[in-house]
């Protein structure tokens, strides 16, 4: 745990010091990765759907007002780890607005980069690293989403899983509540609710 803390502080410092440089680097990286991904084959139907789901979370989750810098501030969907959606997520959100906030996609390479984010898709297979990131993000208004099987148990909020060839959702309402997020009952109704007592 102290290691994680140290790392996190390092990230913060780094971000503060090299804010513009990092931005530029990230943008370049994004463009490069984007190009690479576009060159690759298009993502599977599963990820296309998941991309739409990611966007649709914006419709069913309420963020606190102060999570936006202004009324026109963007709603950021971040991806931590590899982007499995290809360009499809970008296409899905392009031109979309949620309550006046334009929706944008942000690719993060490490948790330290995460500053102003609303939905974070965590595509990190390593359990400990994932847990450290969840811990790092604790208390911030970020909806964490992952495909990792133990994600809910680790304190993640929404987990994709597949049953009978259908993509289902598991939601950890305690976690989202701690993050100050309100998930619509309509969404909760669809999802499998994570109960920490059952899993323990």
Partner 1 sequence: MLFKDIPIRKKLMRIIFLINGVVLMVTCVTFFIYEFYIFRKTSTEKLATIGKIIAANSTAALAFDNPDDAKEILSALKTEPHIVAAALYDTAGNLFSEYFSGAGMDVLPATSEIKGYRFTRSHLEGFEPVIQETKLLGTLYLKSDLEDMYDRFRLYAFIAGAVILLSFLLAYLLSKILQKSISKPVLDLGATAKIISEQKDYSVRAVRIGNDELGSLTEAFNHMLDQIQAQNLSLSVFTQNLEQKVVEHTAQLESVNKELEAFSYSISHDLRAPLRAIIGFSAILEEDYSSKLDKEARRITSVIKKNAGTMGQLIDDLLAFSRIARNDMIKASVDNDEMVKEIIDNLAMAAQYDHAKINWVIGPLSPVYADMNTIRQVWINLISNAVKYSSKKETPHIEIGSFVKEGQIVFFIKDNGVGFDEKYRNKLFKVFQRLHSADEFEGTGVGLALVEKIVSKHMGKVWAEAVVDTGATFYFSLPAGNVHKKNVIE
Each residue 123-162 as x (binds partner 1 by CB under 8 A) or -, in order, gives: ----------------------------------------
- Cα radius of gyration (the chain): 16
Q: Is 53 in the site for partner 1 (CB under 8 A)?
A: yes
Q: Is 187 in the site for partner 1 (CB under 8 A)?
A: yes
Q: Is 190 in the site for partner 1 (CB under 8 A)?
A: yes
Query: What SS3 string covers the chain?
Result: CHHHHHHHHHHHHHHHHCHHHHHHHHHHHHHHHHHHHHHCCCCCHHHHHHHHHHHHHHHHEECCHHHCCCCCCCEEEEEEECCCCCCHHHHHHCCCEECCEEEEEEEECCHHHCCCCCEEEEECCCHHHHHHHHHHHCCCCCEEEECCCCCCCCCCCEEEEEECCEEEEEECHHHHHHCCCEECHHHHHHCEECCHHHHC
How big is the site for partner 1, counted in residues (CB under 8 A)?
Answer: 18
Nearer to partner 1 (CB atom), residue 30 or residue 98 = 98
Q: Is 195 in the site for partner 1 (CB under 8 A)?
A: no
**Contact region for partner 1 (CB under 8 A) — 81-89, 96-104, 123-131, 174-182?**
96-104
State in angstroms the smallest separation of the CB of 15 from partner 1: 32
Q: Is 197 in the site for partner 1 (CB under 8 A)?
A: no
The residue behind tokens 């990286």 is: 29
Q: Is 56 in the site for partner 1 (CB under 8 A)?
A: yes
Among 98, 104, 135, 192, binds partner 1 (CB under 8 A): 98
Six-digit token string for 100 = 């006046």
40 half-sphere exposure, CB direction, 13 A CA radius: 15
Q: Is 13 in the site for partner 1 (CB under 8 A)?
A: no
State in angstroms the smallest separation of the CB of 67 from partner 1: 16
Among 10, 184, 195, 196, binds partner 1 (CB under 8 A): 184
Six-digit token string for 77 = 């969907």
The binding site for partner 1 (CB under 8 A) comprises 49, 52-53, 56, 59-60, 96-99, 166-167, 169, 184, 186-187, 189-190
């Amino acid at each position: 745990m102290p290691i994680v803390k140290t790392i996190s502080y390092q990230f913060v410092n780094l971000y503060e010091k090299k804010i513009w440089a990092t931005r530029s680097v990230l943008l370049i990286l994004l463009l490069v990765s984007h190009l690479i991904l576009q060159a690759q084959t298009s993502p599977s139907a599963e990820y296309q759907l998941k991309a739409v789901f990611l966007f649709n979370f914006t419709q069913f989750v309420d963020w606190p007002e102060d999570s936006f810098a202004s009324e026109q501030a963007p709603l950021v969907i971040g991806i931590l780890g590899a982007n499995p959606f290809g360009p499809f997520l970008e296409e899905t959100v392009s031109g979309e607005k949620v309550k006046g906030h334009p929706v944008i996609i942000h690719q993060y390479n490490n948790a330290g980069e995460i500053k102003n984010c609303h939905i974070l898709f965590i595509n990190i297979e390593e359990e400990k690293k994932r847990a450290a990131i969840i811990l790092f993000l604790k208390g911030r208004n970020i909806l964490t989403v992952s495909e990792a099987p133990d994600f809910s148990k680790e304190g993640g909020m929404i987990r994709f899983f597949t049953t009978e060839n259908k993509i289902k959702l598991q939601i950890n309402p305690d976690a989202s509540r701690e993050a100050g997020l309100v998930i619509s009952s309509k969404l909760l109704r669809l999802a499998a609710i994570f109960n920490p007592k059952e899993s323990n």
